[in-house]
Structure 1
């Protein structure tokens, strides 16, 4: 018997946390925090189940942001992840504590810096089975291709096999190679469904996105403009830095100053430290060898003069962020460009700017880079792993419905589950294949 319950958001993307029980052994997979609403998972069912482990798929806050709370409530559960995720998760959690101080006077801190520093992790290398404390449950991590250190999680116990994709990307990108998968078959596949309803990405190739970005940057620089790329520090920054360096070396872009703000630059340095553990497209490339300059997050910092490229967080122009201040400084000049290189939430200042809530002279461009698998690739994951059951997670209800229909049309023998909030899903498995 395999049981599943969403501890965090079900039917939407936010605080990812899942309780799975495989033949009596309970584990918590991810411990996220909703990035805008500070909404925590409900760890009550996990406390009742007394899990062996908390296993992290990667270091984005919607997957690790409530980890100190989970540790407080589940003190006996060991924390497992890749060594790269351990390093990046500490940075993400420390950064959150500093930002969270603004809420302390009214709602209190969710957790303290001391709680972050006291976390202990057990490192797990890719594709190396690791026995958990009960000696009967084994964990194997597979590179998910989503973020440096990201992993899909294979849990095996007494012949049962459950695989959780985490956030995944099958196709090679500028910095990272695509995801690897375990051998088929698995009994249960927990499949992310972020792009499950996004037909706009069908047929969009990574190379086309890169070409569009380079062309837009080149156009702006040639007329003496400055380019702002609002970016996420974890993952997207490393991808964009890599492709900019490649374009400059090849002559596709002119040599101009490239500025990278504090947190993205710090994350890139950490990735250099874990270079041997990250499956990279260009193994010899290091960020510390790229011709970039630090651009600190100090209040009131004006953009440098002359043609240049600015990489700054946040990726959605969150209030008070360096990217938001830079956008305000640059938007009045028609020579400048503000280029969004990924998803922008409808409830953020970045989306308001894109939607024309205020008139700007600068050129606004959106290029749909994504670290999440396209829906055709999600179906391909199911085809390769041949699961008996698919549990659709990490997607809104529209995405889960659309993806479930696509899977059902190709593999009607697969049982599709879209668990509701607070629902415990019980999957009885026969002895046969």
Structure 2
């Protein structure tokens, strides 16, 4: 098998990998890098060359895996595009939101090439995508040269899939983004218990060590305690959340916590794409059973929306829980605007429940200290950090030891490191060298081709 990482940067970003397996040319994901703008944000598709693509496989619908898919489909209409059934529900909606963001950025930042695709491109993609049920093998190619493809639930987020490829008895497994632990809305990964020749392994949490006394349960309890204490002392809680998966998970967690008396009843205010995706999760639950979610959670919590915010520095007028996109306080999003209102008031709390890139406003806030000045650049507003700032390890990604143990248990000849920053990949490289030096480990440099 030949492998080329099309991501321009050796980090989490525009995930896209070209595999050449026998006569088959297969693209895994077609993402967009949230740190970059314009064509710099997409994979280097020039490396695909003039030869046709046979197959495009989507692991899940976060934009770092999905965001440039309409472009590659437009340029390679000959390719079959396959994904899990839940991902088929979500893909077009996520891409329409990305299109709208690019339209806004075109005006605000004068990015002439935006939007990189049209609504017609999204519609065309939605029409040709092939949804494949989990666990159902599909064959692609001609007899004697078949490539067998099977999607398996990967946890992480609705529709996320690990993918098994089989060609002439050689088995390749792509983990995609994976979480082995059950969430309230989604079971953990259910990967096949068999040996693989090659594993392409996500490494997101490679530099994050979870202490023995820290678990999802203890972090959830600490999170609810912070909410409870903040509300009881007259403050409001801002929970920046990723729209896809995390908002629906936290809504369910808050509903359960109110039922059990772990937090007091309080107004729950939501806004952003995540609230719209509630209906999609409800449909996925009813039609596929792949998630455990019902939109009645909104009624049970009495969720309200917010369309107008006070001026930066003026506290939110209604005390409560503000569950808002985006999870990293990205500029122009509801959570970014709400933070500018809440940060200066000591009774409030900002609770991060997922990963924050250090270069985003959320990452910068987490690296700051109490009473530091914090600048909201796009609002031209600076204030002292007086609210409590907390981060809780409720990640949608598996711990590094879980990923290592999964890979070792499948006895691969080769492992390819993917979807991680250099420090994360380095930990896995060292760990495999220690525990299984016979395994060939490849940490691909972008744009270089490897024989695996």
Normalising by structure 1, report the TM-score: 0.93
**Could you tell me how far 1:180 is from its partner in structure 2?**
1.2
**Could you tell me how far 1:303 is from its partner in structure 2?**
7.4
Distance 1:376 1:79 in 2: 33
Distance 1:303 1:118 in 2: 45
Q: Secondary structure at the match of 2:113?
A: coil
**Could you tell me how far 1:203 is from its partner in structure 2?**
5.5
**Could you tell me how far 1:353 is from its partner in structure 2?**
2.6
1:213 is matched with 223
**Do residues 254 (structure 1) and 264 (structure 2) align?**
yes
1:139 is matched with 149
2:379 is matched with none
Distance 1:153 1:287 in 2: 32
Give the counterpart of 2:165 among 147, 155, 168: 155
**Could you tell me how far 1:309 is from its partner in structure 2?**
0.7
Distance 1:253 1:368 in 2: 19
**Could you tell me how far 1:49 is from its partner in structure 2?**
4.1
Give the counterpart of 1:315 among 322, 327, 333: 327
Distance 1:202 1:13 in 2: 27
Structure 1, 104-113 or 282-291: larger mean CA deviation? 282-291
1:26-425 residue pairs with structure 2 within 5 A? Answer: 26-38=25-37, 39-104=41-106, 105-109=110-114, 110-119=116-125, 120-134=128-142, 136-200=146-210, 204-276=214-286, 277-280=288-291, 287-288=297-298, 290-297=300-307, 305-354=317-366, 355=368, 356-358=372-374, 359-425=384-450
Normalising by structure 2, report the TM-score: 0.89
Q: Secondary structure at the match of 1:118?
A: helix
**Do residues 4 (structure 1) and 29 (structure 2) align?**
no
Residues 68-95 of structure 1: CA distance to partner in whole angstroms, max 9, x if unpaired? 1111221111111012112222111111
Is the contact made by 1:10 and 1:419 (CA closer than 8 Å) also made in structure 2? no
Q: Secondary structure at the match of 1:41?
A: coil
User: What is the number of residues matched between the two proteins?
Assistant: 425
**Could you tell me how far 1:26 is from its partner in structure 2?**
1.2
How has the CA–CA distance of structure 1 residues 335 and 300 changed in structure 2, closer, same or farther, with 3 Å as cutoff? closer
How has the CA–CA distance of structure 1 residues 253 and 320 changed in structure 2, closer, same or farther, with 3 Å as cutoff? same
Across the aligned residues of Structure 1 and Structure 2, the Cα RMSD in angstroms comes to: 2.1
1:430 is matched with none
1:431 is matched with none
Q: Secondary structure at the match of 1:199?
A: coil
How has the CA–CA distance of structure 1 residues 425 and 290 changed in structure 2, closer, same or farther, with 3 Å as cutoff? farther
**Could you tell me how far 1:283 is from its partner in structure 2?**
6.8
Distance 1:209 1:285 in 2: 25
Distance 1:228 1:121 in 2: 37
Residues 182-211 of structure 1: CA distance to partner in whole angstroms, max 9, x if unpaired? 231111100001111212466631101100
**Could you tell me how far 1:223 is from its partner in structure 2?**
1.0
How has the CA–CA distance of structure 1 residues 154 and 289 changed in structure 2, closer, same or farther, with 3 Å as cutoff? farther
Is the contact made by 2:210 and 2:399 (CA closer than 8 Å) also made in structure 1? no
Distance 1:341 1:194 in 2: 16
Is the contact made by 1:228 and 1:337 (CA closer than 8 Å) also made in structure 2? yes
Structure 1, 261-270 or 139-148: larger mean CA deviation? 261-270
Residues 5-33 of structure 1: CA distance to partner in whole angstroms, max 9, x if unpaired? 10114521110000012222110000001
**Could you tell me how far 1:330 is from its partner in structure 2?**
1.6
Distance 1:128 1:324 in 2: 42
Residues 375-404 of structure 1: CA distance to partner in whole angstroms, max 9, x if unpaired? 111112112322111000111222111112
